Chains A and B, each alone.
Chain A
């Protein structure tokens, strides 16, 4: 039973005077309960838009998002019934209210889930902070501590799906893997699914059960983390992994992937990766590979 099912999702950004940008152009992904899925890709590939659509923060143009069999409705002015999805945002300096005590902000989450037995301090303890921090304001904390508070606030609502939209990229290097591991442990312990979005492959590898690689609005490869890492099949995944420098002391410069991510308002014809692909074939320039788990003509599934 899948918890979250994203099916052929299309999300478009419209702004007056500009061409319509298809940030997510037909992506499918599933997250099961207690499962950690890592979504990786270069900046501008539509990862965050996908996450925001799952939360109902961006309207869906085509396709569907279902959570527990129910379609996800966009957030409006009315009180929301769907509190099973909670999000941890990228920048903890912007996502916490600077004028309210952190304990009160966590209590909002507790009220949402109708939980009267838990105190905000209990949640602070779960994310590894002292209980008496509940009376303080956000400016008294460092970035890593703030992100822990944001995680505590998200967990207070007892989500069944936790979404992290680059939750570690605003943090110091040493705090990154700590916060990522904490998110994983807390989500898995409470039986919730976790959709973890990051451009940092090494951290995703550390915590994810499955990896989904996104390129220009499409998911190009999905698979078990260890398998994808050991045997990447899509040329884009291969290029991503090759670009990670290895700490072997040999002084080998990482391989460069030529070119920039194309403008999503004018995606290339055929396979979206074809202008940068080292293994491009004639069919790639012509037809888009519309299949999975590896969307590449080299790995077309036998029919």
Chain B
């Protein structure tokens, strides 16, 4: 199943936030969405889930397979939200409920969407925790978010998003709040899950390095418009749009990066 966004326009309070966005997500592919803050990246992600702020007006089309999400009645949209389309937010410290155990947060929507009984939901939750590589999944099930580190919390947030076997995952800056070493682990996890489960992932990030590491296709947004779309290698190595080029040129990294191996190193690296 694919997700196709065509000519999506969003107006909030008379201000045009998105001015005709076209995007297409495919199974087993990571689609990266880059651009500076205020360019409408996050709004595009939220529009897919129908989570836009009150008083916003949306035109265009967001099609999940055969269904049109924008005109779906709220009841049916609730079935899609969290079930077929899931989201991972930027800050795991605020996206998880501090007073509920992660087991509760992992099973609640599973029982609602999939109609599982308590035991079955628990079994699946523990399995998911193992999948996102939380050590001691059985014990972790009964713990609270504050007992985990930031990277583990984001892994848990990913497990929650994956609980109902969604087809589309929207990840809004999933690694921005994390340390680089932890980020590397979360990126590997995302890429692995995408390949393994055939997820279609929309990865919203401002970090072109992250983009280059995991995305298959890259779209660049500016002022509510997608200015460039293409395969990763093409957009990041031979950008066609001047804005993409200016984004790449503004990166401080112009010289060779550190080598992995210690000890003597060659001069020409």
Q: A interface vs B, CB < 8 Å? A: 42-44, 169, 172-175, 199, 201-202, 205-206, 229-233, 235, 238-257, 260-261, 279, 298
Contacts and interface: CB of A to CB of B under 8 A. Distances in A.
20 contacts: A43-B179, A175-B37, A230-B258, A240-B181, A244-B209, A245-B207, A245-B210, A245-B213, A247-B211, A249-B212, A249-B232, A252-B212, A253-B188, A253-B191, A254-B180, A254-B184, A254-B187, A256-B184, A256-B185, A260-B149
B77 interface: no
Among the interface residues B180, B251, B255, which one has the most CB atoms of the partner chain A within 10 A?
Answer: B180
A22 B84 CA distance: 46
Interface in B183-197: 183-185, 187-188, 191
B250 to A, nearest CB: 8
A74 B152 CA distance: 35
Given A42-B181, A43-B150, A175-B37, A253 B233 contact: no
B125 interface: no
A241 B188 contact: no
Nearest to A206: B252
Nearest to A172: B37
A247 B214 contact: no
Nearest to B186: A256
B262 A235 contact: yes
A42 B210 contact: no
Interface size class on chain B is 35 or more
B208 interface: yes
Interface of B: 36-38, 149-152, 173, 176-177, 179-185, 187-188, 191, 206-216, 232-237, 248, 251-253, 255-258, 260, 262, 265
A84 B212 CA distance: 44
Nearest to B232: A249
A174 B265 CA distance: 35
A244 B182 CA distance: 10
A263 to B, nearest CB: 11
A201 B181 CA distance: 11
Contacts of A249: 212, 232-237
B179 A247 contact: no
Contacts of B213: 245-246, 251-254
B64 to A, nearest CB: 27
Given A238-B258, A245-B207, A250 B212 contact: yes
Given A247-B208, A256-B185, A238 B262 contact: yes
A175 B173 CA distance: 15
B37 A245 contact: no
B184 A243 contact: yes
